Amino acid sequence: MSKKEAAKTVAELPEVNFSDYGGVRFLHLGTEWVQGSMLRDAPYDIELEYVQRMMAGLLFTDAAVVSKKHAMQLGLGSAALTKFCYKKLRMKTTAIEINPQVITACRLWFKLPRDDLRLHVIEADAAVEIKKPVHKGTVDFLHVDLYDHEAAAPVLDSADFYEDCHGLLAEDGVMTVNLFGRDSSYVQSLTKIAEAFGPEAVWAFRPTREGNTVVLAQRDPTRPERADLLQQAGVIESRWDLPAKKWLRLFAPAA
């Protein structure tokens, strides 16, 4: 891509701004739609309910080895997942974000740390970046939350895209996806995910009040007993203060 083409691409990306309401800071892409949030007094916690649910991969992972895992976010948003994985879970964390203004905003306004040995923020088109061999089979927690400034439907939602996501996952890796938008089709998206991962690998939450539906897909399908999931949820709540026991009332295999 030439410098002229790159400049044109950046110019076409939406403006990034933020708003504060009470103790919460919200990220916007030039519209009233909320693209992410941060508790101003607890910037490394996760404020939004659906974003907390994006961490449901913890239900399938031994808490003792979480810090040795690798998390990747496709779409930075307000960096809530990136910061939580990096700061709270102490994981190697990679985020892929196409809009350089979002990266700058997260560092200026949303307490995203600078890159270091464990944190790497890549300015790139996720559809292109995840095809690179360097990423294949390296990701234990893959978080997919890709929306444009209108939040109408997922930006990447094809069968080929979910195949590429499957290829990113390490052994026992897990993907979570936020399915939301007035023009999105939950059933069609779920079908594509099931085709890529297998129907036995797919789990889903009930929608939030706002309409966000988080879907989880395992690289290697398992169906843990409910007692085991409850025990794991208790560990998640005590270690990381996420409402994991509540998750289990709203979370089940999709098929």
**CA neighbor of 174 nearest in space, from 197, 150, 149:** 197
Read off the DSSP letter of residue 112: P
pTM over 0.85: yes
- pLDDT of 8 reads 37
- pLDDT of 147 reads 65
What is the radius of gyration, based on Cα positions, of the chain?
17
- pLDDT of 153 reads 55
Question: Dihedral, CA atoms, 111, 124, 145, 164, nearest 10 degrees?
Answer: -140
Distance from the Cα of residue 117 to its chain's centroid? 21
Beta carbons of 52 and 242 less than 8 angstroms apart: yes
pLDDT in tens, the chain (255 residues): 433 334 434 456 778 877 878 898 888 876 677 778 888 999 999 999 999 999 999 999 999 999 999 999 999 999 999 999 999 999 999 999 999 999 999 999 999 999 999 999 999 999 999 999 999 999 999 999 986 545 455 678 899 999 999 999 999 999 999 987 545 688 889 999 999 999 999 999 999 988 889 999 999 999 999 999 999 999 999 999 999 999 999 999 997
